[in-house]
């Protein structure tokens, strides 16, 4: 008997995560679960958005816990989060099969999927983690688990999502390099905009030449970049990093310093903490949540919304 026996275990598998690693991991996980006699149902995901629709059905009208085990990356986890109907009776878990795996890294899920699975089966630990919502222009609200950004980091995510290089590097387990390479390129190609930033009930900040702003529930995004190293996903607030009014050579320096968590020493790089923030830009910018970039917007509202039960 395991702790999982006390509730339903629904396994959601993204077979294409990290260029097919998702299915390879599932075969090992299935063998272990079957050997232990753990009851489960598997769901092989297909088209984008399918996970959200599936989870809506799995988590509505619950009378006992529904345990969702995700074999996929940050994008799959975001879809799952956006489908949850009953947060009190839904438990979220994950194994690392994506290319970035920022959420799993932030919450210290073991890199080896079988080691992580053994911990989940034999000595599970549960915590309640913050999640946020974002509303942009006329678009419907979306939830985010790790971060939501506008500007530079969203431009990176958008280009990474259609990059052929990512698929090549994933095959040799170097997928995270594509974020750095495209990030360096974006410094020289993207155009900064002016904006107004509102944090909770504070006076608005007028921002000249905004490079990007990101609200983060966890310290790292984009393949492990610690934009907000002090972010705490249990404190009910977001940390945000704002980069503005900097020449390109200084932006290059910031990219180097962020990997050693020293970027905040630069004038033009600031961190804040709040529950709600709103950004109004002069021109539409790409918006990302957990690395997904479905649209551009001029006005975006971020809110730390509630808690999700996470177990590892």
In a 3-state reduction of DSSP, which class is residue 31? helix
- Residue after which a domain boundary falls, among 124, 150, 177: 124
Are 168 and 248 in a shared domain?
yes
Are 105 and 204 in a shared domain?
no
Q: CA 115 to CA 108: how far, in whole Å?
A: 12
Residue 185: pLDDT band by 50, 70, 90 thresholds?
A: confident
In sequence order, the 6+-apart residues with CB closer than 8 A to the CB of 163 are 178, 182
Residue 206 near residue 172, CB atoms below 8 Å: no
Q: Residue 286's Cα: distance from chain center in Å?
A: 16
Q: CA 234 to CA 93: how far, in whole Å?
A: 16
Residue 97: pLDDT band by 50, 70, 90 thresholds?
A: confident
Are 70 and 120 in a shared domain?
yes
Are 144 and 119 in a shared domain?
no
Residue bearing the bigger pLDDT, 266 or 155: 266
Considering its fold, how many domains does the chain have in total? Answer: 2
Mean pLDDT of 2-21: 75
Q: Is the pLDDT of residue 1 over 50?
A: no
Question: Mind giving me the DSSP string for 117-134?
Answer: HHHHHHS--EEEEEEEEE
Residue from 86, 121, 107, 118 nearest 6 by CA: 121
Are 169 and 149 in a shared domain?
yes
Strand partners, 294: none
Are 215 and 78 in a shared domain?
no
pLDDT digits (tens, 9 = 90+) for 47-65: 889 999 999 999 999 999 9
- Residue after which a domain boundary falls, among 124, 143, 177: 124
Are 169 and 117 in a shared domain?
no
In sequence order, the 6+-apart residues with CB closer than 8 A to the CB of 223 are 99, 100, 102, 175, 176, 178, 179, 180
Q: Is the pLDDT of residue 177 over 70?
A: no
The pLDDT assigned to 37 comes to 93
Q: Which domain holds residue 41?
A: 3-124
- Residue after which a domain boundary falls, among 108, 124, 140: 124
Evaluate the CA torsion angle 190, 196, 200, 203 in order and state its sign.
positive
pLDDT digits (tens, 9 = 90+) for 280-305: 999 999 999 998 888 899 999 999 99
Query: What is the pTM assigned to this prediction?
Result: 0.89
Q: CA 23 to CA 99: how far, in whole Å?
A: 14
Mean pLDDT of 71-98: 94
Asked whether residue 312 is domain-assigned, the answer is no
């Amino acid at each position: 008997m395991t702790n999982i026996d006390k509730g339903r275990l629904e396994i959601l598998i993204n077979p294409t995560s990290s260029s097919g690693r998702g299915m390879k991991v599932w075969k090992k996980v299935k063998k272990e679960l079957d050997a232990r006699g753990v009851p489960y149902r598997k769901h092989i995901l297909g088209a984008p958005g399918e996970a959200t629709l599936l989870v809506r059905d799995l988590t509505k009208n619950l009378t006992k816990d529904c345990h969702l085990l995700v074999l996929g990356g940050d994008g799959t986890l975001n879809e799952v989060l956006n489908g949850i109907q009953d947060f009190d009776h839904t438990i979220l878990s994950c194994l690392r099969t994506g290319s970035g795996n920022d959420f799993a890294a932030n919450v210290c899920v073991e890199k080896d999927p079988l080691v992580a699975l053994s911990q989940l089966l034999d000595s599970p630990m549960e915590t309640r983690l913050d999640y946020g919502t974002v509303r942009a222009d006329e678009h419907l609200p979306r939830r985010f688990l790790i971060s939501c950004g506008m500007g530079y980091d969203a431009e990176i995510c958008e280009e990474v999502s259609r990059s052929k290089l990512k698929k090549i590097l994933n095959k040799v387990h170097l997928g995270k390099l594509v974020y750095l390479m495209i990030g360096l390129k974006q410094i020289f190609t993207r155009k900064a905009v002016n904006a107004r930033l509102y944090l909770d009930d504070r006076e608005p900040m007028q921002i000249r030449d905004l490079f990007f702003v990101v609200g983060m529930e966890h310290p790292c995004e984009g393949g492990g970049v610690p934009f907000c190293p002090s972010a705490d996903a249990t404190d009910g607030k977001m940390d945000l990093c704002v980069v503005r009014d900097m020449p390109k050579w200084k932006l290059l320096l910031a990219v180097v310093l962020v990997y050693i968590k020293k970027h905040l020493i630069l004038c033009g790089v600031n961190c804040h903490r709040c529950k709600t923030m709103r950004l109004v830009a002069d021109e539409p910018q790409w918006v990302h949540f957990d690395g997904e970039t479905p649209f551009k917007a001029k006005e975006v509202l971020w809110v730390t919304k509630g808690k999700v039960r996470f177990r590892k």
